[in-house]
Amino acid sequence: MRQNPKDSHDQHRINEKIRVPEVRLVGDNVEQGVYPTREALRMAQDMDLDLVEISPTAKPPVCRITDYQKFLYQLKKKQKEQKAKSVKVVVKEIRFGPQTDDHDYNFKLKHATNFLSEGSKVKAYVFFKGRSILFKEQGEVLLLRFANDLEDYAKVEQLPILEGKRMSIMLAPKPKKVATPKKEIEDAEK
């Protein structure tokens, strides 16, 4: 069962809720080491701060003397920074028919290059209606041609597979090559 981050009081045991015989104290304003819980609690009260259990699974549990509200604020701030740093993957879909003509194919190819240059993944698929499932070889050829035309922009993550009435292929953008200063100097000399 996952805990709701809003139930922060259940997340960490503080002060009298810590019921172990001894704790390991860490922090800036205390001498680090193993102390009896009563003594650690007394030290926290002398400083008008809270004794917060950081790592309950350690032997002995690790605690810090700090202002609990400030501690929660810093935790939320760290989580927000991590969330901002995480990369969000966007998947754009491009749909073909088994007998898509060249003009439509080129139009969709142009869109795919734009999507890939933006950093999005592209899922191209051929949708077979009714009896057009007889042309599944044509669909596979079309998707492989599509992947081949985009090889400068993308790498194939998943080869064409048939799922029900759709055959799909997944393409991921190639990482952008960053020119090194050494390479730029060599190019400038030429």
What pLDDT, in 10s, does the model give residues 137-150? 888 888 899 999 98
Q: Is residue 34 over pLDDT 50?
A: yes
Residue 89 and residue 106 in contact, taking contact as beta carbons nearer than 8 Å = no
Q: Is residue 165 over pLDDT 60?
A: yes
Closest CA to 140 of 112, 116, 166: 166
Q: pLDDT category, 166, cuts 50, 70, 90?
A: confident
Domains 8-76 and 91-173 share a fold: no
Q: Which fold has domain 8-76?
A: Ubiquitin-like (UB roll) (3.10.20)
Instruction: Tell me the three state secondary structure of residue 123.
Output: strand
Domain positions in the chain: 8-76, 91-173
Residue 64 and residue 52 in contact, taking contact as beta carbons nearer than 8 Å = yes
CA atoms of 111 and 99, how far apart (whole Å) = 19
Q: pLDDT category, 2, cuts 50, 70, 90?
A: very low
CATH superfamily, region 91-173: Translation initiation factor 3 (IF-3), C-terminal domain (3.30.110.10)
